[in-house]
Chain A
Amino acid sequence: MTDALLTGANASTEVPLKRRLRRAERTRQVKALALVAPLLVFLLFTFAGPIVGMLWRSVEDSEVRQVFPHTVAALASWDGRDLPDEMAYAALASDILAARASGTIAIAAKRLNYALNGFRTILTSTARNLKAVPEPGTAKETLGKINPAWRERATWTTIKDASGPVTGFYLLAALDLTRNADGAIVAAPPDQAIYRDVFARTFLISISVTALCLILGFPVAYLLATLPPGRSNLLMIFVLLPFWTSLLVRTCAWIVLLQSKGVVNDSLHWIGIIDEPLRLIYNRFGVCVAMTHVLLPFMILPLYSSMKAISPAYMRAAASLGAPPLTAFLRIYLPQTLPGIGAGSLLVFILALGYYITPALVGGAADQMISYFIALYTTETANWGLASALGAVLLLVTLLLALVYGKLVHGQQVTGGMKN
């Protein structure tokens, strides 16, 4: 800025000082923005772009459009009340023949099978038995004969719903909803309606872990904030060392400790409390213990800084005014730690919601959280629409909570409590 001021001074002295100052300030602002710009561009490419791309995939619907272009065009004017006309049947027959020739029928079959179980069979049987383009006017009859499903309205509404270019199908499916043949939003069939359970489970695990962290973290933060700096700095190592230790190391350590021949079971057996080893891992208990261990520092650190800011004079004042210790604690100390409790709990909850590695390694099949299903549909079954839709829901919840967290910890430090 001094640079800008100096060049301003060299310029014509006729320009009023006020304007020169304003110009200098503007140059300064442009320079400042130019320094931030590289990071913004970089994040656009490596972070924002990919996430917007994922959100787009949660509503994109292009498979059926690509494979059955004529059918989609023919169904555009169909009102969906009765069976479509002969033209749509003829278009479908020629589309199926073309798709069979180019080998793309499986792409459409996969998409349609998501919406209507068994659609893949309908398409493959039709493709197998359709010898040639039906004589004009006989397409409806021919297809109906090959597979009676073509005489049902639901088969056709499924195709029309999947014609794209955008669809609410995946987002609805992520919430256990679907559209029926009349286009109304109804509950999804029970065999597909698993995601509300998964979201509920994700919330339940996250809340349990947050509560455990608060219960365990509060006394520790209190101790650290109350002890003289020398001793509390030393004890802080017990919090910071696990914080810096790799997540994989800690998860691996819990497997070693909690397995059926692990340290915990052996010790309990040796003391004589148990005869048979307890099942402590690959279940909900193991997930909660390991996640609490990983996330506890995120609770202790914000609690500690909020407690550190409380002047001991308040407690002395309360005592001198005759408040019994418990009353003083509940009415004077605890309320002042509430911002710390709020920040720590929200932080732990937000981080817990998106957990993937720990439940994947120490949980059973019934303990997998939403991230597991997002990963599963992305890499294993390649149902990218559903993976993206589940991701969109998780992202929305996370961002809303992060917004609350940001307000709580005052604008600037949206993630200030994260690693320091």
Chain B
Amino acid sequence: MSDNSLLRTTSQRIAWTATIIVSTLVFIFLIAPILAIMPLSFSSGSYLTYPLPGLSLRWYDDFINSPRWMNSLKNSMIIGVASTVLSMVLGTLAALGLAQWRSRFKPLVLAFVLSPVVVPGVITAVGLYFFFAPIGLTGSYLGLILAHTALATPFVVITVGATLQSFDTNLARAAASLGASPLQAFRRVILPLILPGLASGALFAFATSFDEVVIVLFMAGPEQRTLPREMFAGIRENISPTITAAAVVLTAVSVILLATLEGLRRRNERLKSSSA
């Protein structure tokens, strides 16, 4: 419906042109900051200003050779992967259960399961800080993994739940009628079909943990600082170009996650259109 034959009058054409101009400006507003920070990480100077005095990889060198940054990258990975695995197990089971459960309490339970997304980060962080400190879970990997799992699981429940909704339950019945045990039916029929949904859920979970900083701020000891936490400290204290190198690394991870997710979505659409 975008074809210009619809835009018959001058005023409509003006309105459409204005929409394009404003949208372009907003797109620039959205993307420019992220693009502007990247070249600075290749600067040979130590100020975060343009024009660059020259190109170098010294800030990446600094990033890779700094035990502080490398430790934070390692921590982000450990906590991200562990909380993804945990939230996948809990979230997938819950989504499977919720798909079958019929009760008037279901909306209430669903609201409770999804509430970690709505509650402000500081409130969850303060609550956890009070709750975990007496049992020795502050300043520990376990505490952070548990907290990040709570934040990430809603996304798994939403994503896997949406996949299950579009899943044809007759396939499971067909498998059973052909003599498959429930476990066999799950492993050989259900699982391959919902796998893309599970993968998207895992990506959301990992991204949630990888980007989280408020809870880490309250609960992590110096040993458990994650990449965003180290960036927070860096921005607070003094912005050195090493931060921009860290930012490029973080952005690269986001782009990989986004591209994988987009690939999964396209594959899913292709499958749907070919089966229809």
Contacts and interface: CB of A to CB of B under 8 A. Distances in A.
Interface stretch (B60-68, B187-195, B247-255): B247-255
Interface in A227-254: 227-228, 235, 238-242, 244-254
Given A220-B27, A253-B37, A248 B235 contact: yes
B127 A50 contact: yes
Interface stretch (A81-89, A172-180, A257-265, A335-343): A257-265
A371 B149 contact: no
Contact of B103 (A29, A51, A312): A29
A249 B204 contact: no
Contacts of A262: 48-49
A185 interface: no
A48 interface: yes
Interface string A41-66: 01101111111011001000000000
B122 interface: yes
A411 interface: yes
A48 B214 contact: no
Given A43-B116, A395-B119, A29 B33 contact: no
A149 interface: no
A241 B26 contact: no
B146 interface: yes
A3 B185 CA distance: 11
Contacts of A296: 26, 29-30
A244 B50 CA distance: 26
B81 interface: no
Nearest to A5: B176
A54 B254 contact: no
B176 A252 contact: no
Contacts of B130: 50, 53-54, 57, 384, 388
Interface in A367-420: 371, 374-375, 378-379, 384, 387-388, 391, 394-395, 398-399, 402, 406, 411-416, 418-420
A54 B37 CA distance: 39
Interface in B92-126: 93-94, 96-103, 107, 109-126
Contacts of A388: 126, 130
Interface string B236-257: 1001000110010011001101
Contacts of B128: 46, 50
Contacts of A371: 120-122
Contact of B26 (A29, A40, A220, A415): A220
B90 interface: yes
A128 B120 CA distance: 45
A37 B97 CA distance: 9
Contact of A361 (B98, B218, B235): B235
Nearest to A37: B97
A253 B1 CA distance: 37
B54 to A, nearest CB: 18
Given A220-B27, A223-B23, A391-B126, A248 B250 contact: yes
A234 to B, nearest CB: 11
Contacts of B12: 325
Given A244-B254, A262-B49, A374-B126, A216 B19 contact: no
Contacts of B123: 51, 54, 354, 374, 391, 394-395, 398
B247 A252 contact: yes
B93 A353 contact: no
A250 B130 CA distance: 30
B91 interface: yes
Contact of B110 (A235, A375, A414, A420): A414
A420 B161 CA distance: 13
A261 B49 contact: yes
A132 interface: no
Contacts of A33: 97, 101
B118 A402 contact: yes
A387 B126 contact: yes
A36 interface: yes
Interface residues of B, number: 104
Nearest to A42: B90
Contact of A395 (B49, B120, B131, B213): B120
A53 B125 CA distance: 12
B153 A39 contact: yes
Name the prevailing secondary structure of the A interface residues: helix
Given A32-B98, A226-B1, A245 B254 contact: yes
A20 interface: no
A416 to B, nearest CB: 7
B229 to A, nearest CB: 9
A246 B250 contact: yes
A326 interface: yes
Nearest to A49: B131
Interface string A300-344: 000000000000100010000000111000000000000000000
Contacts of A235: 23, 27
B135 to A, nearest CB: 10
A242 B34 contact: yes
A252 B244 contact: yes
Contact of B218 (A38, A355, A378, A402): A378
A46 B150 contact: yes
Nearest to B173: A2
Contact of B33 (A31, A223, A257, A379): A257
Contacts of A246: 210-211, 228, 231, 247, 250-251, 254
Nearest to A3: B182
Q: Which of A47, A262, A266, A293 gathers most chain B CB within 10 Å?
A: A47
B154 interface: yes
B147 interface: yes
A350 interface: yes
Identify the 8 closest CB pairs spanning chains A and B, nearest first.
A354-B120, A35-B97, A50-B127, A253-B33, A50-B131, A2-B176, A36-B97, A32-B101
Interface of A: 1-3, 6, 28-29, 31-40, 42-43, 45-51, 53-54, 57, 216-217, 219-220, 222-223, 226-228, 235, 238-242, 244-257, 259, 261-263, 266, 293, 296-297, 312, 316, 324-326, 350, 353-357, 361, 371, 374-375, 378-379, 384, 387-388, 391, 394-395, 398-399, 402, 406, 411-416, 418-420
